Amino acid sequence: MITFPQRLLDGYRTFTTERLPTEQSRYRELSVRGQSPEVMVIGCCDSRVSPEVIFDAGPGELFVVRNIANLVPVYQPDSGAHGVSAALEYAVSVLRVKHIVILGHAQCGGIRAFVDKIAPLSPGDFIGKWMAMFVKPGEIVEQRRHETNQDFVTRIEKAAVFRSLENLMTFPFVRARVECGELLLHGAYFGVAEGSLFVLDRATNQFKSAREATAS
């Protein structure tokens, strides 16, 4: 008896009858010459925030890493195994992507857990340890006076994008390619309810609606 989820088998059937016929040649081409995506997206595991869906991307277009709260760790060349860093190294040094997008989002469970300090966020838990890297040593993250809890959460969701962008630059191979103009770093924020996308304007450090953002 096959216990593979029926929803996935149904979805695969739809893929083979609807999407694959139009993309078959693309898949064949990619299998022969390999992938060469221009964009890496680092997003959250959240099932509502799929980069391929949001950006209407086909096969071979996006190199995606997803983790809790779309965090990039600081460069840490120790004896440990670092999944995000390995993916980053592959994207930047092997695939030579031209853009890295940090995709944050509203109603992020990881950020909510971090803000509310709820279980499983004890220092011994995986999420607790993972989210701890969001905070720099000595840094205090707390709700401001006159700030609603919702505004606080939104601010921290966006701060996670800024922190990841900052941490990206601690990787020598990222910094080198950014400084010579071969790699551009971007921030974005997805509003789940409206399906709205906000793009970070690096000049003002403000998120602007993607509809207003000009191509550059």
Closer residue to Zn ion, CB minimum distance, 62 or 108: 108
Tell me which DSSP letter residue 186 carries: E
Closer residue to Zn ion, CB minimum distance, 69 or 185: 69
Select the span of 105-113, 145-153, 177-185, 199-207 touching Zn ion (CB under 5 A): 105-113
Rg, Å, the chain Cα set = 19
Question: Closest separation between CB of residue 150 and Zn ion, Å?
Answer: 16
CB 188 within 8 A of CB 161: yes
Q: Binding residue for Zn ion (CB under 5 A) from 44, 64, 88, 160?
A: 44
Closer residue to Zn ion, CB minimum distance, 44 or 185: 44
Does position 157 interact with Zn ion (CB under 5 A)? The reply is: no
* Site size with Zn ion, rule: CB under 5 A: 3
Question: Closest separation between CB of residue 105 and Zn ion, Å?
Answer: 6
Q: How many CA atoms lie within 13 A of 36 on its CB side?
A: 6
Closer residue to Zn ion, CB minimum distance, 46 or 61: 46
Reported as type and span, the H/E element at residue 115 is helix 109-116
Does position 46 interact with Zn ion (CB under 5 A)? The reply is: yes
Closer residue to Zn ion, CB minimum distance, 21 or 120: 120
Q: Of the candidates 162, 172, 110, 116, which has an alpha carbon nearest to the alpha carbon of residue 136?
A: 162
Select the span of 4-12, 36-44, 123-131, 179-187 touching Zn ion (CB under 5 A): 36-44
Reported as type and span, the H/E element at residue 191 is strand 184-191
x-marked contacts with Zn ion along 107-146 as a string, rule CB under 5 A: -x--------------------------------------
What are 199's strand-pairing partners?
188, 208
Question: Closest separation between CB of residue 45 and Zn ion, Å?
Answer: 7
Q: Which residue shows structure tokens 């309810």?
A: 193
Tell me which DSSP letter residue 108 carries: -
Closer residue to Zn ion, CB minimum distance, 108 or 131: 108
Distance, CA of 143 to CA of 139 (rounded, Å): 13
Question: Closest separation between CB of residue 25 and Zn ion, Å?
Answer: 35
Report the amino acid identity of residue 46: D
Task: Please state the three-class secondary structure of 118-143 as a single string.
Answer: CCCCCCCCHHHHHHHCCCCCCCCCCC
Q: Which residues bind Zn ion (CB under 5 A)?
A: 44, 46, 108
